[in-house]
Amino acid sequence: MVVSARVEASQIGSDILAKGGNAFDAMVATEMALAVTYPFAGNLGGGGFMVYRKSNGDVGGIDYREKAPLSGHKDMYLDSLGKVIPDMSTKGATAVGVPGTIAGIFEVHEKFGSLSMEELLAPVIALAEKGVVVTENQANRFENYRESILEVNDGITSFPIGCKAGDTLKYPVLANTLRRISKEGRDGFYKGETAKILSNFIQEKGGFITEEDLAKYEAKWRQPIIFNYKDLKIISMSPPSSGGVTINQIFKMMEPYDIAEFGHNSAKTIQLFTEASRRAYADRNYFLGDPDFVEIPLDVLLSQSYLMERMENFSFDSATKSADVSHGEIEILESMETTHYSIIDAEGNAISVTTTLNGAYGSKLYCDELGFFLNNEMDDFSAKPGVPNMFGLIGADANSIAPEKRMLSSMTPTIVEKDGQLYMVVGTPGGSTIITAVAQTILNTYEFNMSMQESVNAPVFIINGYRIWSFSNPKGFRTHSKKN
């Protein structure tokens, strides 16, 4: 089974499974197929994280998050007065981090793949050449982002933003780039012609990425965060994603309470969840960053005694934020500029992947010669302690910029076991709200006995900084939607 944001990408992934490929082979094909069919978030110019659980119970994770360029430094987005320069970390070439996706798929393939890379990429290349039909949603997105894409690309782009629903879009340039990768391996992206074109292009547009940055990029295997919540075992992504640590803290702070008894989205459940999340996000923003650069006191942050101590001042009687909870009428749509997909093969190997360009179409910078968008992931760093990024997240030194450092993420690809068996594969877009949306989806299924689809469709409440909104999720973007 393959579930992703585009039926064409899911089809390519499940064809690989039908051909005898395993979940990891299907991951490679699906990730690249999303780059073709869902350029809003699917990517060659971005990065992501994958958590896996093999049928024998082995678990692991891979980090193919973008990195700061070698020339990156703490104050790179500040002016001479020490103020954050508007748009510099969010729009155009200056916002681009060194892409990790291609390194990620090659690592996964080398370790677990069973079919050849050529076989996996062939249907993706064929699809890019044959073309993809534009959906209604996609046409709306093109419409919404046309102006900003044109602005970043100096008024001209070969990306077909003028097309309408029902048109067939062909991507011959992207097909060529993919062909080079298929033939030359990861060096077909990080070295040689592609790397030269890409680094020259980014620098011409005022950005910082060099051929050396690309050549030095490596994806990394990471031990996931694993914890128990009642009789579930939850396996989620470790730093440089904050997802696993933060979800672990939230669940452990809630565990002593019988929220099934309180009821789904009851005031008590929301109050408890909010207070646990408030404490977990405060730790996230202060302690978490790239573990290759900062010491993260995980033992303490995840210990039972520390978490119980954090909740000592929690009381149902002092609902200090209940006024905010009552602002629940505001309808906002879950932003979904990232994308998640989940795959399970016939043997029961499962993978959970969240991948992104960060914003919609990333930095909006589109490389005509290579056929893809570049990320604006540099905005996930803390440009200045105390100043919020585009998702309202405030960071500290642990997430300051340094050469080759990875920016902190909220992406939370997660796998859940119950009684030693695979129970759920889950993840979502949503920036700073990813962690709490994944947590609520797991709770909906486990505590409130909903099916996966009901869990995804149920209203969630969003905790962002100190505000709480509740909203309905009519399109079911959490986990993934087949409707896109």
Site residues (CB under 6 A) for ligand DON?
335-338, 356, 358, 377, 380, 409-411, 429-431, 434
Cβ-Cβ contacts under 8 Å for 299 (sequence gap 6 or more)? none
Contact indicator for 353, 28 with CB cutoff of 8 Å: no
Q: State in angstroms the smallest separation of the CB of 473 from ligand DON.
A: 13
Q: State in angstroms the smallest separation of the CB of 411 from ligand DON.
A: 5
* Cα separation values, 162 from 140, 266, 323, 373, 477, Å: 11, 45, 45, 16, 25
Q: State in angstroms the smallest separation of the CB of 90 from ligand DON.
A: 11
* Nearest-angstrom CA–CA distance, 460 and 335: 13
Q: What are phi and psi of 400, to 5 degrees?
A: -80, 165
Residue nearer to ligand DON on the CB measure, 39 or 429? 429
Residue nearer to ligand DON on the CB measure, 153 or 338? 338
Residue 247, classed as helix, strand or coil, is: helix
Residue nearer to ligand DON on the CB measure, 175 or 219? 219
Residue 343, classed as helix, strand or coil, is: strand
Closest CA to 205 of 404, 378, 381, 374: 374
Closest CA to 180 of 168, 167, 195, 202: 195
Q: State in angstroms the smallest separation of the CB of 183 from ligand DON.
A: 31
Annotated catalytic residue, options 37, 194, 210, 338: 338
Q: State in angstroms the smallest separation of the CB of 184 from ligand DON.
A: 29
* Nearest-angstrom CA–CA distance, 273 and 277: 6
Residue nearer to ligand DON on the CB measure, 448 or 469? 469
Long-range CB contacts (< 8 A, 24+ apart) of 139-143?
139/163, 139/164, 139/165, 141/40, 141/360
Q: What are phi and psi of 452, to 5 degrees?
A: -55, -45
Do β-strands 350-356 and 47-53 pair in parallel, antiparallel, or remain unpaired?
A: antiparallel
Both tokens assigned to 342: 């989940």
Q: State in angstroms the smallest separation of the CB of 118 from ligand DON.
A: 31
Distance of CA 361 to the CA centre of its chain: 13
DSSP one-letter string for 306-341: HHHHHTTT--TT--TTHHHHGGGG---PPP--EEEE
Q: State in angstroms the smallest separation of the CB of 94 from ligand DON.
A: 16
Closest CA to 432 of 324, 338, 364: 338
Residue nearer to ligand DON on the CB measure, 202 or 336? 336
Both tokens assigned to 28: 């490679």
Residue nearer to ligand DON on the CB measure, 233 or 284? 284
* Nearest-angstrom CA–CA distance, 338 and 360: 8
* Nearest-angstrom CA–CA distance, 115 and 397: 43
Annotation says 354 is catalytic: no
Distance of CA 197 to the CA centre of its chain: 26
Q: State in angstroms the smallest separation of the CB of 78 from ligand DON.
A: 21
Residue nearer to ligand DON on the CB measure, 338 or 400? 338
Residue nearer to ligand DON on the CB measure, 367 or 411? 411
Catalytic (active-site) positions: 338
